[in-house]
Chains A and B, each alone.
Chain A
Amino acid sequence: NAGVIQTPRHKVTGKGQEATLWCEPISGHSAVFWYRQTIVQGLEFLTYFRNQAPIDDSGMPKERFSAQMPNQSHSTLKIQSTQPQDSAVYLCASSPRTEKNTLYFGAGTRLSVL
């Protein structure tokens, strides 16, 4: 069991560029979550999918952030026109059907917007 895999581990973008973050959940897990972690805001919920369907995106900044889960083996978080305030560690987590509400986190992608 490789755990949740996030790529890249680090990403540096210039202001205004696009960033795409990838997540591969644990095989067999039915839900995928995206969180953002900063010193100031802590762990913020962004969005989650169950069985590939978007369930709750209440934490997503509406204008520039989008998330997709095209198949059960990966999810992407895309940030358009990145801004310095988007700099954070973006964490993906998955949970199994048999243990709903228990999250298994990936190592995160550290996004730095210059």
Chain B
Amino acid sequence: AQKVTQTQTSISVMEKTTVTMDCVYETRDSSYFLFWYKQTASGEIVFLIRQDSYKKENATEGHYSLNFQKPKSSIGLIITATQIEDSAVYFCAMSLYGNEKITFGAGTKLTIKP
């Protein structure tokens, strides 16, 4: 079984700044996948970025990057040069190798202020 915890309920930052959202996970498996998804105000859920547990290099995708700290079971999402349209709820998620079931965290609501 796996568990994903996002302790930040909401974050508010100014436009064009950098924001980090925290996520910790629990699993006894040695191979797993970590993800971040975004849910917009319209309800649409969109995949942003993933990190495979066996990769030491942090994943990056556009203005999204990850801070993967395996010993701490932590996978933070970093958004640089934030824009108003980045305002959304961000979900951290994980799945185990060999099983495609994805478990989501509770989500962090990000508000970007102009």
Contact = CB atoms under 8 A, between A and B. Distances in A.
Given A91-B45, A102-B50, A45 B101 contact: yes
**What range describes how many residues of A lie at the interface?**
20 to 34
Given A101-B35, A102-B47, A105-B44, A56 B101 contact: yes
Nearest to A46: B101
B107 A42 contact: yes
A43 B6 CA distance: 13
A95 B95 CA distance: 14
B33 interface: yes
Contacts of B103: 45
Given A89-B43, A102-B50, A103-B47, A45 B102 contact: yes
Given A45-B102, A56-B101, A101 B33 contact: yes
B99 A108 contact: no
Contacts of B35: 101-102
Nearest to B103: A45
Chain B at the A interface: SS class:
strand
A55 interface: yes
Contacts of A56: 99-101
A38 B11 CA distance: 21
Which of B47, B50, B103 has the largest count of A CB atoms less than 10 A from its CB? B47
Contacts of A107: 43-44
CB-based closest 5 A-B pairs: A43-B104, A105-B45, A42-B106, A101-B33, A101-B95
8 contacts: A33-B100, A45-B101, A95-B100, A101-B35, A101-B100, A102-B47, A102-B50, A105-B45
Interface of B: 33, 35, 37, 43-47, 50, 91, 95, 99-107
Given A43-B91, A102-B35, A105-B45, 18 more contacts: A33-B100, A33-B101, A42-B104, A42-B105, A43-B107, A45-B104, A48-B100, A50-B100, A56-B99, A56-B101, A91-B45, A93-B45, A101-B33, A101-B50, A101-B102, A102-B50, A107-B43, A107-B44
